[in-house]
Structure 1
């Protein structure tokens, strides 16, 4: 059986029950450890001097191959184009885009350099699976180096509508680079439609829908590839076991003791402007304002671990949240009750899962999100006999699957406040019915299904690329 080679911007240190990692890290590692293979990418180290050296570590069936970045590469590739340009654009915030031509050059340069580091580690039958927006040019760089292996790409964040993507000056170069992959995977059908629309309306290409479950065929820039939606999942039973185990830990016991039988609203997000945290705080304030009976009866815990702390946009959102939580607490707090507990630190996965299980409401309202695995983990962690209620943004990819959630528009502060009130008052029978529908969906489409479906289509797409002749398309550019 051919090896699976995972390529991602960051190779995160994963340990069972250890600090919570993002959806990409958890999903990728769970996929890789079942098949064996290699995980390649940036180590997270930024070197002030000297040349980066590859480090290779074997842990069971998984080989971790990591390499550091020099300061200039980190600034241009990671802080610059990836997170100051692509991240806001792909999350529908063109007003926050910062673009510098030198950053884009650095982004392409680092992708080419990383590809060169990987080439000597490859075997002829390896299947390469590249992840996320940092590495859009990676397949193009591998092809330039003569690599003929099957190469797939999965985008964990949203793919923006064509008119939004046009706000990124080198948008055409980016989409052309994507077409060097054999298979493109998106979180939702909405993202796939956005990509297809760009191909047809801006690249002069063609998109031929596949007969389900086959992916669509894309012809653009003189190339033929496949594209489909593959919603990433979780292992719900594993999350449930973590939740049960975590209830015995000191953090959860302390939380229960300090609640004094109050109901708990629970949120966990990276500290990011795409998560709708300010709007979430204001909706909770609106609930307290309009429903005096909730005062001193409900506590809202927001855990927001730091991320990209050296970027101004993230420093700004932290300051805004601290100000909002302080203002709301100053307005409503009593001697024995603090309405919002805003915690700016990271917790172990078992602790978070146990907190989810203890809470009455899961509050997941991003302004835009590719999938949002927190929503799926919240449902997975619930006690089937007494489950909580998920309040979920319509702009999270998970909303397409979790029909048992209360779906809200995070721009509608009153609507979110209404949903919180409905969730807190929901009868047990309705909570159980909603939970049963959602947990069945999560078990049917867990992370193994995500991986297996993608890998099945990648192997098929790679075979077709080797045998098919590419048809010319309108406005095609020679590869």
Structure 2
């Protein structure tokens, strides 16, 4: 069996238990096949220090990490990845902050990753690259003659062509992505949007009679839908055990018989938290009998500290929560609890199990695994109700059991909360059962196996005759290329630039 090489922006610490289903599944796949997990260490070094690769062995897996210079972190990570690609892919064009130096830094760090990876590769390795931070990585590797199968998975949404093509240099990014052999997306809509972006840019076209395969002038590759999932049985066990721990007993005591409504989100403008709080407020005003009978717990760890957009969002949500408490709170009842800290998986699983309803209402989300974790955590005999945004990828799989809402429509959120609170136990069990069957039939381990099987299938890697000969490097300082640009022709470049 070929070694597996996983490349992602961040790498888990092998000295700590894997946190979350994705890390658990990838670690299991790496241990089974042997391989390397490479990415950023999370640490920064001085700009005049050349980042070095550090390796740590854990069983059959080598964890290889590199620091980033302060300049690289600012331009690649905070700049292009999170100030351009993140808002762009979440349909927030007005929040994109494009700068040519940040785009240059993004490509530079992808070259850095490629340069670190090249000496580690063997001829029969299979590579799996993850997420929007590393869109051009395959192209950088192809420039150096790498012909191994390389797959890519996009964890966040892929936007419609009119959105993605608005960013300067979008054609260069799309052209670079044709260096992958298999590109995976969360939903059919994401996959279709990607194919339409390629067609609109005249970079690649679908191959007639071969669904999912696209072709440039030099090579063919595939794009497909691989919805990510969770460790369903593992999370269910954790939730069942967690309700007996002291923290959960204390939480239960503070509720004093009130029904718990839960929201769990990283602090981000894509999560729709202000609209959600307003929807909860409308519910309490429309259904005053529930005042004093329910409590809304919103767990929102801070993220991307120091970024003004996130600091402003934090202030907005805190003020909104305070206004709600001032308007409707009583001496013996607080309508909302707003917590800005992270909790371990056990506490989150136990809290999910206790909640009568979960509000998972992002304005746009690739999948949203909180929705799936909430379903897995429930007591099948007395389950809660999932209120889910129709713009979350999870809605494509959980539509038979969840109450789907438009996250921009606060009245719809209020109405769904009323429906959830009124729902009879029989209907709750029926809805929960339909969703749980989906999660039991498709776990994160199935997702991992299905992607790697597709990547390793005969004929999956369709490198054209010219692919081994690297093409000229795309110069992102120039305007995006007007015609098809794919790895596979041109002179061999120098070693990757790291500064």
| Common fold: TM-score over 0.5 | yes
Separation in structure 2 between the aligned mates of residue 393 and residue 469 of structure 1, nearest angstrom? 45
Are the aligned partners of 2:41 and 2:66 in contact in 1 as well (CA < 8 Å)? yes
Q: Shift of the alpha carbon at 1:26?
A: 5.2
Q: For 1:69, what is the secondary structure of its paired residue?
A: strand
In structure 2, the partner of 1:327 is 323
- How far apart are 1:36 and its partner, in Å? 3.5
Q: CA 1:464 to 1:4, structure 2 compared with 1: closer, same or farther past 3 Å?
A: closer
Deviation at 1:311, TM superposition (A): 1.4
CA distance in structure 2 between the partners assigned to 1:54 and 1:249 by the alignment: 41
- Alpha-carbon deviation of 1:410? 0.2
Matched residues in 1 for 2:154 and 2:458: separation? 17
| 1:146 Cα offset (Å) | 1.8
Correspondences of 1:186-225 after superposition (within 5 Å): 186-203=185-202, 205-208=204-207, 216-220=212-216, 222-225=218-221
CA distance in 1, matches of 2:17, 2:36: 22
Kept in 1, the 8 Å contact 2:2–2:33? The answer is: no
Q: What are the equivalent positions in structure 2 for 1:251-266 lying under 5 Å apart?
A: 251-266=247-262
The structure 1 residue matched to 2:404, chosen from 402, 407, 412, is 407
Offset at residue 230 of structure 1 (A): 0.2
Q: Give CA-to-partner distance per residue, 1:89-125, whole Å, 9 cap, x none.
A: 0000001000000100110011001110011111111
Give the aligned partner of residue 161 of structure 2: 162
Pair 395,468 (structure 1): closer, same or farther in 2 beyond 3 Å:
farther
SS in 2 for 1:130: strand
Taking structure 1 as reference, are residues 199 and 117 closer, same or farther at Cα in structure 2, changes over 3 Å only? same
Counterpart for residue 421 of structure 2:
424
Structure 2 residue 296 is matched with structure 1 residue 300: yes
Query: Do the aligned partners of 1:4 and 1:128 also contact (CA within 8 Å) in 2?
Result: yes
The whole-number CA distance in structure 1 between the counterparts of 2:116 and 2:203 is: 34
Separation in structure 2 between the aligned mates of residue 34 and residue 458 of structure 1, nearest angstrom? 17
Which residue pairs with 1:37 in the alignment?
35
Query: 2:474 corresponds to which residue?
Result: none
The answer as to whether partners of 1:183 and 1:461 remain within 8 angstroms in 2 is no
- Is 1:356 the counterpart of 2:349? The answer is no
Aligned equivalent of 1:371:
367
- Pair 1:276 & 2:249 matched: no
Residue 287 of structure 2 corresponds to residue 288 of structure 1: no
User: In the alignment, is the contact (CA less than 8 A) between 2:14 and 2:58 conserved in 1?
Assistant: no
Aligned residues: 471
Output the CA distance in 1 between the equivalents of 2:327 and 2:7.
Answer: 48
Q: 1:254–1:35: structure 2 CA closer, same or farther, 3 Å change rule?
A: farther
The change in CA–CA distance for 1:30 and 1:188 in structure 2 (over 3 A counts) is: farther
Distance 1:316 1:14 in 2: 35
Note the residue ranges of structure 2 that are not aligned, 5 or more in a row. Answer: 468-481, 488-499
Query: Offset at 1:461?
Result: 6.8
Q: How does 1:74-473 map to 2 (within 5 A)?
A: 74-203=73-202, 205-208=204-207, 216-220=212-216, 222-403=218-399, 404-460=401-457, 463-466=460-463
TM-score (norm: length of structure 1): 0.94
Matches within 5 A, 1:10-89: 10-13=10-13, 25=23, 28-29=26-27, 31-48=29-46, 50-89=49-88
Provide structure 1 residue ranges, at least 5 long, that are not aligned to the other structure: none
Aligned match of 2:491? none
RMSD, matched Cα: 2.0
Deviation at 1:219, TM superposition (A): 1.3
Residue pair 1:41, 1:66 contacting (<8 A) in 2 also: yes
Residue 387 of structure 1: SS of its match in structure 2?
Answer: coil
| Distance across 2 between alignment mates of 1:181 and 1:45 | 28
SS in 2 for 1:41: strand
CA-CA distance at 1:221 after TM superposition: 5.7
User: In structure 1, how many angstroms separate the alpha carbons of the residues matched to 2:191 and 2:376?
Assistant: 27
Separation in 2, partners of 1:325, 1:318 = 11
SS in 1 for 2:457: helix
Give the drift of 1:316.
1.3
User: Could you tell me how far apart the structure 2 residues matched to 1:460 and 1:397 are?
Assistant: 26
Task: Verify the 8 A CA contact 2:236 2:376 in the aligned structure 1.
Answer: yes
- Is the contact between residue 179 and residue 486 of structure 2 (CA under 8 Å) also seen in structure 1? no
The corresponding residue for 1:2 is 2
Alpha-carbon distance in 2 for matches of 1:398, 1:34: 29
- Separation in structure 1 between the aligned mates of residue 466 and residue 112 of structure 2, nearest angstrom: 30
Q: CA deviation at 1:17?
A: 6.7
Cα distance in 2 between the residues matched to 1:33 and 1:325: 45
